[in-house]
Amino acid sequence: GQNIDQPTEMTATEGAIVQINCTYQTSGFNGLFWYQQHAGEAPTFLSYNVLDGLEEKGRFSSFLSRSKGYSYLLLKELQMKDSASYLCAASFTGGGNKLTFGTGTQLKVEL
């Protein structure tokens, strides 16, 4: 299968930095998406990585290492509103425009 693994839960303090990791099987890998999902709402797109390296977008950055089958989402200057589930999703060659999602990492930001 094309397993996507990420931690179930994380807790961090307001104003701090948190890194959410995601690992995937490298065979046939195409690209890696990160989505944010607040409880009871739809996932919203955060980032897409297809090349190795760091993509920065405001307080959020996403990193990809294709050879290691590894990605992370970095959230800086955490705010209470960042409390949400963060979904890692990968596309694979020959997958027919489908994504395989991880189970999501529930991030709780505390004062």
Q: Are the beta carbons of 18 and 78 closer than 8 angstroms?
A: yes
**Number of shown-chain residues binding other proteins (CB under 8 A):** 25
Stretch that binds other proteins, among 16-24, 55-63, 70-78, 84-92 (CB under 8 A): 84-92
Select from 19, 26, 24 the least CA-distant residue to 3.
Answer: 24
Burial of 73 (0-12, 13-18, 19+ CB in 10 A): buried
Stretch that binds other proteins, among 55-63, 64-72, 74-82, 88-96 (CB under 8 A): 88-96
Write out the residues near other proteins by the rule CB under 8 A: 4, 8, 30-31, 33, 40-45, 48, 87, 89, 91, 93, 95-99, 101-104
